[in-house]
Amino acid sequence: MAKPATIQIKLESTAGTGYYYVTKKNPRSPNTTEKLVFKKYDPIARKHVEFKEGKIK
């Protein structure tokens, strides 16, 4: 069986609340060589903060 083209990653809040989103990323894409950074809503901090890519354990 073939490996899937996408991998699951965890987007961790930089606010230090421990909140995270789980999403998918295509590691074979030449456009995404660095780690993903998004501004998303953190419900614990109750504001939009940056979320950085991390590994799922």
- Cα–Cα separations (whole angstroms), residue 9 to 25, 37, 39, 42, 49: 7, 12, 16, 17, 18
Of 3 and 12, more confident: 12
Domain ranges in the chain are 7-54
Beta bridge partners of 22: 10
Fold category of 7-54 in CATH: Rubrerythrin, domain 2 (2.20.28)
Dump pLDDT digits (tens) for 17-57.
999 999 999 988 888 888 999 999 999 999 999 999 998 97
Q: Does residue 1 have a pLDDT over 90?
A: no
**What pLDDT does 38 receive?**
95
Asked whether the whole model's pTM tops 0.75, one would answer yes
Residue in the structure block whose two tokens are 């996408």: 6
**What pLDDT does 31 receive?**
87
